[in-house]
Amino acid sequence: MKIVIQTQHTENYGAHTWDGKGECPQRWKCKGGDTYIAEGVSIADAMNPGFYDTLFDLIEENNDYYCEYILSSDLVDEAGFDISDHCEDWCKPIMLSFDGENWNATKEHYADAFPAREWVLGEAA
């Protein structure tokens, strides 16, 4: 099983000029989001609310400057799983795996998005 999680990032533009005294000015702007895919989720994990609580606590962040919150989460069977059903082809998800003690996160990046693509891939003449 996999858990596919979609998030939203927001940034508080009011905090950039805040002097740290009194209440922080609030001027929040949406800035995109991420797709997280938790792999190797067992049926027991999927039925345990504490499992989700721990996973969501690792992803969500909320402070005066930045916020990332979960928009949705879906439990998906690995049979027939197609990443394109959950994120656009230009987007690489953050892959999460649990080794029994710790969560590990990895994200692959497209070399195409890098201006020196040919140099990175060794294609430069």
In a domain, 11, yes or no: yes
In a domain, 12, yes or no: yes
Whether 42 has a pLDDT exceeding 60, the answer reads yes
In a domain, 52, yes or no: yes
| Both structure tokens of 114 | 């890098």
Q: What pLDDT sits at residue 116?
A: 56
Whether 123 has a pLDDT exceeding 70, the answer reads no
Whether 115 has a pLDDT exceeding 70, the answer reads no
Domain that holds residue 56: 2-120
Share of the chain above pLDDT 70, in %: 86
Q: Total domain count for the chain?
A: 1
Share of the chain above pLDDT 90, in %: 57
User: Quick one: which H or E segment has residue 120?
Assistant: helix 117-120
User: What is the pTM for the complete model shown?
Assistant: 0.81
Query: Residue 110 half-sphere exposure, CB side, CA atoms within 13 Å?
Result: 9
Average pLDDT rounded to a whole number, residues 80-103: 87
90: confidence class by pLDDT, cuts 50, 70, 90: confident
In a domain, 56, yes or no: yes
Residue-wise over 73-104: b if at least 16 C-beta within 10 A, else e? beebeeeeeebeebeeeeebbbbbebeeeeee
The full DSSP string for 34-98 is -EEEEES--HHHHT-HHHHHHHHHHH-EE-SSEEEEEEEEEEE-STT--GGGTS-TT-PPEEEEE
Q: What pLDDT sits at residue 65?
A: 92
In a domain, 125, yes or no: no
Average pLDDT rounded to a whole number, residues 3-21: 92
Q: What pLDDT sits at residue 56?
A: 95
Q: What pLDDT sits at residue 118?
A: 57
